[in-house]
Amino acid sequence: MKVAVLRFPGTNCEFDAKYAFEKLDCEVEIIWHKDEKLPENCDLVVVPGGFSYGDYLRSGAIARFAKIMESVKEFANNGGKVLGICNGFQILLEAGLLPGAMKRNDTLHFISKHHHLKVIDNNNPLLKLLNIGDIVNIPVAHHDGNYYIDEAGLKDLEKNNQILLKYCTSDGDLTNMNGSVSNIAGICNKNRNVFGLMPHPERAMEDVLGSSDGLNMLKGFLK
Ligand SMILES: NC(=O)CC[C@H](N)C(=O)O
């Protein structure tokens, strides 16, 4: 399987994403933001974490104008799979490929720790190897992870089962760690081919990293 991992000035998780998908025997190419085209026969585009353009204006607000994003939009609109992790999620929101917006964490602090997440929907590649209600332990590292969507938008997400992951305790009780509407940690688009989540599954691929729960998430994308 061929995976394209995007890189903007300020991206810092492209090699983590590359490592994770190579561990799953994928062929991975890192794509510079000024490139015009995604590689031929690409099966998945990963928009990785970091601080694209220094998070100036708003996280993801400048990256969404990058040249490569035109190809990413075309790819997504033709049904191609796109996964945005953390800053990648922020970029996909700014690009309008996912609904909602990201605000500063309500504590105004950068949060960096392992956190539990509850699987809300598994009818999608990211979570198809897990069961609804499963709890995974995945690291978070962000200052703008406070997911916002208005009431009508939230109803729409719920109606279409687009909410994929929510923050929870190790016992599975939902918890609000950054102010996100409805404790949302990850969503997908209506067509279920564009995914965004704030936690970093690519940093949870080996027990020595504190968790290998990311394996069963990313494996879901394999053909
Ligand atoms: N780990 C990341 O991708 C950081 C995301 C983002 N720029 C933030 O801090 O909110």
CATH of the domain at 156: 3.40.50.880
Give the 3-state secondary structure of residue 153. helix
Owning domain of residue 100 = 2-220
- Rounded to the nearest angstrom, the distance between the alpha carbon of 64 and the centre of ligand 1 is 15
Tens-binned pLDDT, residue by residue, of the chain (223 aa): 999 999 999 999 999 999 999 999 999 999 999 988 999 999 999 999 999 999 999 999 999 999 999 999 999 999 999 999 999 999 999 999 999 999 999 999 999 999 999 999 999 999 999 999 999 999 999 999 999 999 999 999 999 999 999 999 999 999 999 999 999 999 999 999 999 999 999 999 999 999 999 999 999 999 7
For ligand 1, atom 5, the nearest C-alpha belongs to: 87
For ligand 1, atom 8, the nearest C-alpha belongs to: 142
Atom number, ligand 1, closest to the C-alpha of residue 86: 3
Q: What is the DSSP letter of 99?
A: S
- Model-wide pTM > 0.95: yes
Cβ atoms 167, 135 nearer than 8 A: no
Question: For 10, left (φ over 0), alpha (ψ -120 to 50), or beta?
Answer: left
Counting the structural domains of the chain, the total is 1
Q: Tell me, using a 6 A CB cutoff, whether residue 49 lines ligand 1.
A: yes
